[in-house]
């Protein structure tokens, strides 16, 4: 009878551990970052490139995607080296535990480029179960850029007989980073919290 009880407890405990491991692997967290640029550019602009990068690192994402007004409402997703050769390098910096500089580059084809640089902690300091800096302890599954709005309005100002062209640009999007908590901690959290 004692052997039966011990076996039953062992089987039950094993089932709980396996169940927790399976459930923790499905506990995905989606972190969203708003990206926006409103500006007036000298020249004719009908396309742009949005780049996500770590400063002075070889980790630029989305650099091969040229965006047009017709891309409003579309989502572009990178989830592996096959989608973008810098994905693995980028996710290494995103999960290294250091407060690295993250760069958003807005390149307007036919016009200027603008860069916005912030420390990672500005974006990831409130991630549940995070370290307050970046996504250390998480496995990055994908990074998506959703284009909510992209308007490029051309204006012509005549100076005498010479036309001067300006483009008013309004770009709004959302970066979404999919991640899964790694390690034994999710199992312990699951056992303690549920």
Cα–Cα distance for residue pair 26/187, rounded to 1 Å: 12
Note the pLDDT of residue 181: 84
State the pairing for strand pair 28-42/162-181. Answer: antiparallel
| Residue-range domain boundaries for the chain | 29-183
What are φ and ψ of residue 156, in 5° steps?
A: -120, 125
Its pTM surpasses 0.85: no
Note the pLDDT of residue 185: 53
pLDDT tens for each residue of the chain, 194 residues long: 555 444 443 443 333 333 444 444 456 888 899 999 999 999 999 999 999 999 877 899 999 999 999 999 999 999 999 999 999 999 999 999 999 999 999 999 988 899 999 999 888 877 766 777 888 889 999 999 999 999 999 999 998 999 999 999 999 999 999 998 876 555 455 445 44
Query: Residue 69 carries which DSSP code?
Result: G
The two structure tokens encoding residue 162: 């010479």
Query: Residue 10 carries which DSSP code?
Result: H
Measured from the Cβ of residue 169, the count of other Cβ atoms closer than 10 Å reads 21
Note the pLDDT of residue 114: 92
Residue 188's alpha-carbon distances to 3, 27, 29, 95, in angstroms, are 27, 14, 18, 21
Q: Are 71 and 150 in contact (CB under 8 A)?
A: yes
Note the pLDDT of residue 165: 93
Ramachandran class of 108: left when φ > 0, alpha when ψ lies in -120 to 50, beta otherwise: beta
Note the pLDDT of residue 7: 44
Note the pLDDT of residue 6: 45
Cα–Cα distance for residue pair 1/150, rounded to 1 Å: 71
Cα–Cα distance for residue pair 108/45, rounded to 1 Å: 6
Cα–Cα distance for residue pair 170/120, rounded to 1 Å: 25
State the pairing for strand pair 101-109/162-181. Answer: unpaired
Closest of 46, 5, 7 to residue 169, by C-alpha: 46
Note the pLDDT of residue 190: 44
């Amino acid at each position: 009878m004692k052997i039966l009880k011990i076996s039953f407890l062992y089987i039950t405990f094993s089932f709980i551990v396996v169940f927790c491991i399976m459930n923790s692997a499905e506990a995905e967290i989606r972190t969203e970052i708003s990206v926006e640029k409103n500006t007036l550019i000298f020249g004719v602009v009908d396309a742009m490139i949005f780049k996500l990068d770590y400063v002075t690192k070889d980790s630029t994402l989305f650099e091969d995607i040229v965006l047009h007004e017709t891309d409003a409402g579309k989502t572009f997703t990178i989830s592996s080296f096959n989608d973008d050769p810098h994905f693995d390098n980028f996710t290494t910096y995103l999960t290294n535990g250091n407060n690295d500089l993250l760069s958003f580059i807005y390149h307007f084809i036919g016009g200027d480029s603008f860069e916005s640089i912030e420390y990672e902690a500005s974006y990831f300091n409130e991630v549940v179960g995070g370290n307050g800096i970046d996504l250390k302890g998480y496995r990055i599954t994908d990074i998506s850029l959703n284009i909510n709005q992209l308007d490029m309005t051309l204006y012509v100002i005549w100076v005498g007989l010479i036309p001067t062209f300006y483009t008013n640009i309004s770009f709004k999007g959302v970066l979404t980073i999919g991640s899964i908590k790694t390690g034994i901690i999710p199992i312990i959290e699951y056992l303690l919290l549920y």
